[in-house]
Amino acid sequence: MGQKVRTYIVRGMRCAGCSGKVEKTIAQLPGAENVSVSYATGMLTLTSTQEQLDDETIFAAVKKLGFTAELPPKDPAEEERKEALQLKKQLRDLTVSIIFTVMLTIVAFSHIISGIRLSGIVQLILLFPVLWAGRKIFIAGLPALFKLRPDMDSLIACGSGAGTLYSLYLLISGTVNCHYHFDSAAMILTLVMLGRTLEHRARNKVSSSMRELLKLTPEYATVITNGTEEKVPVHSLQLNAQIRIRPGEKVPADAAVTSGNSFVNEAMLSGEELPVAKAPGSKIYGGTINVDGVLEAKVTALGENSELGQIIKLVSDAQNTRPPAAKIADKVAGVFTWIIFSLSLLTLVLWLVSGAAFATAFNYALSVMVAACPCALGLATPIALIAGIGRGATLGILIKNGTALENCAKAGSVIFDKTGTLTSGQPEIKNVMVYPESRITGKELLEIAAAAEKNSTHPLAAALEAAAGNADITVTDFKNVSGSGISCTIFGSKWRFGREAFACNGKELQYPIPEDFAGSTLIFCSREDTPIGIISAGDALRTETPQVIAALEKLKMHSIMLTGDNTSAAARCAESCRIAEFYSECLPAEKAGIVREISQESHRPVIMVGDGINDAPALTNADVGIAIGSGTAAAMESADIILQKSDLRGVCNVIKLSRAVFRVIKQNLFWAFFYNFGILPFAAGLGTLWGGFSLNPAICAATMAASSLTVVLNALRLLKFKVDK
């Protein structure tokens, strides 16, 4: 049995350090490969088979670390309910903590308010509800410290606990008329809980795009059993079940229509707003909307095997990947807690050595301990990726991994396949030339050629009919000569259309082929074996292609064209698109080699855009492969990014989105480092040495909470990213 990617939900993680511990532990289990844990999404992914590593072993390993792991629920609504319940509990604990912290602070500073210093025992009593509300921090943080694997909770537990224990010492020793640190301990816990609650809500909003995808399928399906209808939850549907979809209802699963006719809106898959006609034998897809008629269908695919399921899995996997930009932050976050413990101890020792009172030295050491937060560093990259990849999914841009997104942001060149990418892939009539002696007009020649080709399956038949219209011309003695052309009788004369040798029957042309016919597909026309004209046809340029090339130039991207067509046809297309550099007459393997060469010579990532089977090698060899919506399955499989809508403007949107994501990542990393390292000198009291100021533990706790919240809120801006239309 081959390996496959397995996904789990990990609950209880509180910082990037937590995700790092889970990842390291699971990676050490036999059979676990490519392990990745995302704090931002709470997802654990790994590669293995059930025989190599069963679920119970993973659950047990995660439980030893103080967290819980479980399989993703089949019903998306169930996960949403669990998230809501978790948030409700957080809000309850936070409310208790805020109420008693405010009361405790008033009591602690009562001597300023009323001139009466209330007892430290009253402060201690008011602290107990705050300690209960923040109990999870101590339950998780202290055992992690004792196991020499400290995390963010260890810092907070030590900071708050140290303040409490030192204040208890002062209280028990009978020290009076002093300021206890009970209020600081309470403020630290309350501000951390406030920050985490706000961060939790913001992270949920960042992940909203994934929930929107999950909500595309309805909760219930109408199943027909022995002629009787029954409403069943979609997650309990079985393969081959017979379902009924009424007008206005969403299709619950991928299925094949067995009866009925209707139009189905498939915009969520294709990006095209026009409904698609469906009849018996047609395929319909889960999440699409039945517009008018009643359809009955047999379920053909469920869950991850459905079209929507594959999109959701692709987006989920991409959101859990780590691009190179995240590695530095991950390394720093991994050792961050030990660094802060060391700096806190060093601060205490240095202030004591300098002759400061223990209370002063302790206050500065406590401030250092609670000032820094590895959460902001750990969140800086993944939260932006989640928002960017999620936003892309809602816009019809499916991004398979974060590395592709980073390479896209850094790319300097875009290489386009010609046929089906820069062009529509559908031929159109370009020019018509008739010989003067033929005594026929160009329009009449087109009408005759279209009538003759009407019985042909050649791709040019539709192009001729579109150009000439449906003229009422009788055709007899029709004969198709494979690879050469057709012959028939029209108006009592024998006509031939096709290649020069066939149509002209070996006779030389009376006039040279015009220069503007070069690079086109030529249809030679003869009557009674006498050449009378030539029709040129070519692939139609997409209407948006020139606009896209111009937009890429503004983005400082160099555009290149690759094609298997002849040099003349390639040159004409490149000129129409205003692409200066192109390669023609390329085989699939040669395309892949050219892509590699361009990437090596430019020393920057290269983007390849294609749609056909022959583009698959080039898409694979490019730093970023982009497949457009009308492409083949091979192109989709080989690409790193898929544009669901067959519109080249999506290429510009991908580049703009990737640049926006990594602009946010850089901003997040700046703020994370600024909060965590810029605040430390003031927390340590160094500002007082030069007549400046210092920060007390409560303010440090507030800045620590603000650091995580800042990077999450900054990432939220990506959810409003606008695309070109």
Q: List active site positions.
A: 417
Dist CA 134 CA 114 (whole Å)? 30
Dist CA 460 CA 19 (whole Å)? 59
Query: In terms of DSSP bridges, do strands 43-48 and 33-38 run parallel, antiparallel, or are they unpaired?
Result: antiparallel
Q: Which of 240, 256, 116, 126 is nearest to 177 (CA)?
A: 116
Q: Which of 28, 32, 33 is nearest to 53 (CA)?
A: 32
Reported as type and span, the H/E element at residue 399 is: strand 397-399
SS3 424: strand
Task: Please name the amino acid found at residue 322.
Answer: R
Other Cβ atoms closer than 10 A to 670: 12
Do 582 and 594 meet the contact criterion of CB atoms below 8 Å apart? no
Dist CA 459 CA 537 (whole Å)? 11
Other Cβ atoms closer than 10 A to 30: 8
Dist CA 417 CA 427 (whole Å)? 16
Residues 6+ apart with CB under 8 A from 601: none
Distance of CA 205 to the CA centre of its chain: 15
Which pair of tokens denotes residue 226? 């022995």
Beta-bridge mates of residue 229? 224
E-assigned strands of 563-605? Answer: 581-583
Other Cβ atoms closer than 10 A to 655: 21
Q: What count of residues does the chain have?
A: 725
Dist CA 687 CA 433 (whole Å)? 87
68-94: buried (b, 16+ CB within 10 Å) or exposed (e) per residue?
ebeeeeeebeebeeebeeeeeebeebb
- Residue written as tokens 């600081």? 184
Which pair of tokens denotes residue 63? 């439980």
Dist CA 229 CA 226 (whole Å)? 9
Distance of CA 585 to the CA centre of its chain: 35
Task: Please name the amino acid found at residue 464.
Answer: L
Q: Which of 191, 179, 188, 187 is nearest to 109 (CA)?
A: 179
Beta-bridge mates of residue 301? 254
Do 330 and 322 meet the contact criterion of CB atoms below 8 Å apart? yes
